[in-house]
Structure 1
Amino acid sequence: MDLTPQDITGLTRFRHDLHRHPEVSGFEAQTAQRVQAALAPLGPDQVVTGLGGHGVAAVFRGDTPGPTVMIRAELDALPILQNPGAAHRSLTDGVAHLCGHDGHMAILLGVARGLSRHRPASGRAILMFQPAEEDGSGAAAVLADPAFAPLRPDWAFALHNMPGLPLGQVQVSAGPMNCASCGLRLRLMGRTAHAATPDTGLSPTAALFDLIPALQALGPGGALTPGFRLVTLTHARLGTPSFGIAPGEGEVWVTLRSLTDADMTGLKAQAQDLAHRQAAKHGLQLDLSWHDDFAACHNDPQAVAQIEAALTDAAIPFGPTDGPMRPSEDFGRFAGSGARCAMFLLGAGEDSPALHDPGYDFPDTLIAPGVSAFTAILRRILG
């Protein structure tokens, strides 16, 4: 699609408006309303709202039967305070679009503008504005929503802006793309005592000191090769801040990470078994819970071939990725719908602040190549 100067101005304005009004995972009601309002004048054949929470899907149909192609963007922002600076900086204290999801939504709206002018020749194009990507719950909620069943795609594509890559350059490869990850919260409970008589209580101190290195030993990290596993301690607490009380409870938070879903299943089982054994050894009660559960993201070879051919058509420079990434991405779950899925990286500049950095801001110059790439994919598959 050839974007007009008016298109670029409008999409940039839309992105800046989203940036000023960020919402965290599961609370994207106003963001979803802004998306719906922007889609309305473009005349999609169908708009499905409330998907998996606040998700929005715009459907553009072709004249003849054919496959269904889904392009995904994310609605949510991060609970991080943004650095002051940009005129369009966040107006919500402690929440900001520091991962570029505002830019992804602007790109998807640009694709919608193109589809409003030139419907696909066949099949369906579905533009999915997904909720709750940052905590790993959104894709699963969308897939579980009965309203998604009629929309199930044959192909699914996404992009992620990537600081450190040359501005506008694409990287894409078949195979593992993002690690699986899951948060594990362990609370060990005994009995408090006076600090003068700690022997009358039941402290979790020794259990925590044993448990933390044992958990980390389950996932030593290293190269992102088959069998990669990493356990990261993210939080630990023991008792209450007091000089007069011997602790009676404590907790540990760790993030488990692996290259494949199968390895994650095994790592979860080992971590859970270890926690139960340590609690039993020290006579403590255990409360265990799982959080931020991300499936591994795997790029289907046929979907990658479609991306590479489309990038060639659109004259967008591209090359292979440097390998899988340790950070997780909720897009991987859509492979469970039966779709051939692939995600590509779009360079945000070699000198750009990192994702989730308080100074990050999606480059508006990426809107045009992002729209061109997705539009070329749709044309190749749907005509």
Structure 2
Amino acid sequence: METIEFQGGLFSDEVQGGRAGARIRLGLEGLEAETPTGERFRLPYADCQLEQGGASGKMIFCHGPGRRLTLFSEQKGFAEALARSGGDPIVEQLKRMGLAARKERNRYTLQIVLGLVAMVLLTMGAFRLLKMGATRAVHALPVSVDRKLGGLAMEAMSLDGPKVTDPVLVGTMEKLVSRLEPHVRIPGLEFQVTVVDAPIVNAYCLPGGRIVVYTGLIKAARRPEQVAGVLSHEMAHATLRHGLERIAQSAGAVVALELLIQDVGGLLAMAVELARHGVLTSYGREQETAADMEGAEMMLKAGMDPAALAEFFAILQEQHGDVPDSLAWLSSHPQLSERQAELRRRAELSRPAAAEPLGIDWDEVVRHAKDPQSKHSVDSKTQVGEHPARAE
């Protein structure tokens, strides 16, 4: 078999910058690549996993085991030469890629159709009804969508500080969450806690259960039940699917129509953008009130007093005023005085079941929050733009 050569490139940790141009030869047993600086690489056909993409959508990627080596080219004839040289396994992969390309073209056609329908609806003044329908439609989606969405959002967001691995801080937050978790409204959420060292009086829970707690909030609280109240409120946003509702409310006509037919591609893409701009965890007044009440119900079932959250609001009001602009998580919330009154009323109407002591030395937790100890911390790498760029 003759050796065939194409212009392309490669990804590998063994080359400077992780990427280099390369001449790719199709030999008897596999692909052989040589960089302009003379470095040589070999990828057997038997180990090659194919993928099509890149900016043009026509680039063929040949991934090695664990993607430690990837060779690619978009030169005309590369796929055909691979089919001739690589044998049946390569031919089967190329066939599947062709099917995937047709599905993508069909999706693009559907997008065009949906766009045209959206234009008609807009001219008829029905866009508001469409978005209302999309907001309701998110509650029919499987919980797996929440988990996927939360994972993508977590990768896209900046944590604004280093992650903390201090077992006292992380263990305490996990203990509080595990006390509340059996009483959430919908099963299937996977609550995971990340503690971040930053002087921010904040906590949030992304769709699917990804929780972030800042040491500033821990230091502001005077007992663990107050933090449990905040966590129950944030977990309630996830169980009530307020994040998905927020996306649906921000969606354009095409994404709204996609939701009505249970297509979540646009939903996930929009979630990443909203997360990057901090919109995904910013809720309206009605959603905040609903999360207060749902969180109070979780606290009661977990044997904790929901008035603890009202106590924490009182601390914030004492230190910062009624609606402290400096606290992002309260910027669009109902006023603290109103929320305190409602939570105290709820606590008076229904006292919690027999409480089991939390068994937490809160003074010790606060001491750790004031000095999380650098040996227990790792730098956050979630800032947008810090992920290694890939051509795929």
TM range (shorter): under 0.3
TM-score, reference length from structure 1:
0.23
| Greater helix share, structure number | 2
User: Structure 2 length normalisation: TM-score?
Assistant: 0.23
- Ranked by relative contact order (alpha carbons within 8 Å, sequence separation 6 or more), the top structure is 1
Higher strand fraction (1 or 2): 1
